[in-house]
Structure 1
């Protein structure tokens, strides 16, 4: 099948959902002051969730899905913390904070040259999906399980669209990795349910790789 035919087929299948992605070589990666880790153990995290829930109710988190191109394949930008577990850039909303404002704040904290404050130069796209934690100690589900009246945490994933060039400045105790979607897909054991489910959330898009 010729390239032109493949392109036409992709456009027909996608129904117009085309996502521009740019080469990884167009981005600069640096480091800044480390961010303190709030949890040393799983028990610490569970206790923090309980404390936050008692004070504020449902915990809402927002995370960014950010794509770049490498070797003609879409790669997802993922943070690796303490050389062990992986997470998408983002974090917990403050009480009364909107999804978009909270995600921009968290992206600035984790990925921007700005040490403190808000880098407003983030283009936040559509919400791709929502994940729910029904109890403090259970994993996330891509739906609200039956008979769950008081979920403890909700995580929303938003598409973040990048320009052709940008500086990513990451805390020294984290690594920002570009991981191919084909490696992430279904790899729950390594990346957890949310990250491993991202390729399915992106399946409605055709990727338009823009050469530098």
Structure 2
């Protein structure tokens, strides 16, 4: 066994500087703290179907009448303590889902998606304050597409071979949250801020779609700001 001198063990090893590795970087997204957002409640919105079999039967009825069902869901990103968090709904203290829903037949994709988000999260009534854009959504990139090949619960991030007529396509869109926004949640649901480290590789709790969100977001750079719009951190951090 070789003995390392004490002075060598205590000295700090400084690695050589590497070359630049920032070409073709994706855009930087500004994230505001979760404390910037006001959360209220509104009337409960019960699930349309009492069971999984009833939900799949409704999907089949839709397909036979209108064709493939189109669904849009929102990835709402904020930060807490300089780490990205995703706002997602929790139902019955167990089941997690992203805000959004299926579009009506012949409904424009973005207009329909905006309507579904307002139905789920916007304040109720005519008291919208247009200056705060409480009923408007900045819909950004489509980060993923999931496909349902048959009338079953399984969905895939690709169309399986030999499937020419998938029964549903679900798109996950990045929503760029403004500095402040009022969000009203149905009484039978909770809106939770879930950190990326909790979602990552945790399909047992969140399912394959939600647990993949950290991979979807890994393409972006993030700029974390405080309540006064001061930058308090960036990710990835720039190393000297």
TM norm. shorter chain > 0.5: yes
CA distance in 1, matches of 2:20, 2:47: 43
Summarize the Cα distance change of 1:121–1:10 in structure 2 as closer, same or farther, 3 Å threshold. Answer: farther
Q: Is the 8 A contact 1:109 1:115 kept in 2?
A: no
Question: 1:158-191 deviations in whole A, cap 9, x for unaligned?
Answer: 1111111111101101111100011101211111
Aligned mate of 1:45, from 52, 55, 76: 55
Hey, which of these two has a bigger chunk of helix by percent?
1
Mapped pair 1:149 → 2:164: yes
| Aligned alpha-carbon RMSD (Å) | 2.0
Moved more, 161-170 or 33-42: 33-42
| Other-structure match for 1:130 | 145
Aligned mate of 1:80, from 83, 90, 94: 90
Alignment of 1:100-179 (within 5 A): 100-115=110-125, 120-179=135-194
Q: Is the 8 A contact 2:78 2:87 kept in 1?
A: yes
Q: How many angstroms does 1:65 deviate by? A: 0.6
Q: Is the 8 A contact 1:140 1:193 kept in 2?
A: no
CA distance in 1, matches of 2:52, 2:44: 21
When Rg is computed on C-alpha atoms for both structures, the one with the higher figure is 2
CA distance in 2, matches of 1:192, 1:31: 26
Q: How many angstroms does 1:109 deviate by? A: 0.7
Question: Unaligned regions of 5+ residues in structure 1, if any?
Answer: 1-8
Q: How many angstroms does 1:13 deviate by? A: 6.3
The DSSP-based 3-state class of the residue aligned with 1:63 is strand
The DSSP-based 3-state class of the residue aligned with 1:129 is strand
Q: How many angstroms does 1:14 deviate by? A: 6.7
Q: Is the 8 A contact 1:135 1:151 kept in 2?
A: yes
Moved more, 12-21 or 58-67: 12-21
Size of the aligned set, in residue pairs, is: 203
Q: How many angstroms does 1:23 deviate by? A: 0.3
Question: Unaligned regions of 5+ residues in structure 2, if any?
Answer: 1-18, 129-133, 228-240
Q: How many angstroms does 1:10 deviate by? A: 11
Summarize the Cα distance change of 1:54–1:166 in structure 2 as closer, same or farther, 3 Å threshold. Answer: same
Q: Is the 8 A contact 2:42 2:124 kept in 1?
A: no
The DSSP-based 3-state class of the residue aligned with 1:12 is coil
The DSSP-based 3-state class of the residue aligned with 1:179 is strand
